[in-house]
Amino acid sequence: MKALALAAVAIASLPAITLSAAPLLAQASQPGQAQPTGADTGKLDMSAVPSLNEEKIRRAQQALQAKGFDPGPIDGVIGPRTEDAIRNFQDRYGIKTSAKLDNQTLYALGAADLAGPPGGETDQTAR
C-alpha cells in the first residue's frame, strides 16, 4: 500500500519537475548564445587530434595532473611521461588508448575548449 502511495506522489510530481526545468532548457537552446563546449560537438570527430600549441598542451597537462595522472613537468611538451599519463587516463576512462590528446580525451579531461578539427598529429609527437 505504501509503495502505491509513493508511486502516486511520484507520478503527480512529474509535471512540476518538467515545468521547472523548461525555462532552463529553453535558455540553454537559445541561438546566438555562446556555449562553453569548445567546437560544435555535433560535427566534431571525437577521434580527431587537434593542433595544440605549447600553452594548450600545458593546460591539458594541468588537467591530467588535477585528475591524478602525473604528466611530468608542466612544460607544454608531450614527452614520454605525458604520453604515459594520457595513455593511463584513456585506459582508466575507457577511451581508445592512443597516448594522443584526441577530442574525446580532451572532453573527458574537462578541456572541451581545446577540442577541434584534425591537424595535430605532428604537434603531439614525443620529444
76 forms beta bridges with: none
Q: Is 26 helix (H, G, I), strand (E, B) or coil?
A: helix
Strand partners, 50: 118
Q: What is the pLDDT of residue 65?
A: 98
Instruction: Tell me what pLDDT residue 64 has.
Output: 98
Of 41, 40, 39, 73, the residue nearest 57 (C-alpha): 73
What are the distances in angstroms from CA 47 to CA 29, 52, 84? 26, 15, 18
Q: What's the pLDDT score for residue 61?
A: 98
- Rounded to an integer, what distance in angstroms lies between the CA atom of residue 28 and that of residue 46? 23
> How many angstroms separate the first and last alpha carbons of the chain?
68
How confident is the model at residue 21, as a pLDDT?
Answer: 43
Domains of the chain plus CATH, in order, are 38-127 (1.10.101.10)
Low-confidence stretches of the chain (pLDDT beneath 50):
16-38, 122-123, 125
pTM score? 0.64
Q: Check residue 27 and give its pLDDT.
A: 42
Look at residues 3, 1, 20 and name the one whose alpha carbon lies nearest to residue 11: 3
In eight-state DSSP terms, residue 39 is S
**Ramachandran category for residue 79: left, alpha or beta (phi over 0 → left; psi -120 to 50 → alpha):** beta
The predicted pLDDT at position 111 comes to 96
How far, rounded to the nearest angstrom, does the alpha carbon of residue 81 sit from its chain's CA centroid? 21
Residue-level pLDDT at 119 = 84
Instruction: Please tell me whether residue 50 adopts helix, strand or coil conformation.
Output: strand
